[in-house]
């Protein structure tokens, strides 16, 4: 797999045999991408970002692992992933931070 964000399509795969970007495929690719950029918990951060874009919990990502992503979701995810790859704190990107059982606004 290519390691650049340009690899992410701006639209769903065509009928010409392109492989669909599913939830699982996106988590795997973006986790490796973030780790290549020096993010220590790349996969975990990718899960948090994708869950936020899709409006799901992290567990739901695994329950819907084969769900294809649509162009609008990819378009919302790409800039968040780019920000995290530049080492911007995840809490700033999401606008919240977890502390014990609380979800605090950042």
Backbone CA torsion sign across 10, 15, 19, 20: positive
One of 3.40.50.510, 1.10.8.10, 1.10.3720.10, 3.30.499.10 is the CATH number of 19-105, namely 1.10.8.10
At 22-55, the pLDDT tens digits run 999 999 999 999 999 999 999 999 999 999 999 9
- Cβ contact 25:64 at 8 Å: no
pLDDT at 7: 62
pTM: 0.81
| Crossing angle of the two packed helices 42-54 and 71-85, in degrees rounded to 10 | 140
Residue linked to tokens 């986790």: 31
**For residues 67-92, average pLDDT:** 95
Q: Name which of 68-72, 82-86, 95-99 the model is least confident about.
A: 95-99
């Amino acid at each position: 797999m290519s390691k650049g964000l340009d690899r992410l399509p701006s639209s769903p795969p065509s009928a010409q045999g392109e492989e669909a970007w599913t939830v699982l495929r996106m988590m795997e690719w973006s986790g490796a991408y973030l780790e290549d950029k020096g993010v220590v918990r790349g996969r975990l951060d990718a899960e948090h970002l994708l869950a936020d874009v899709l409006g799901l919990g992290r567990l739901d990502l695994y329950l819907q692992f084969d769900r294809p992503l649509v162009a609008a979701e990819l378009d919302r995810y790409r800039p968040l992933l780019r920000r995290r790859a530049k080492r911007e704190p995840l809490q700033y990107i999401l606008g919240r931070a977890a502390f014990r059982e609380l979800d605090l606004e950042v």
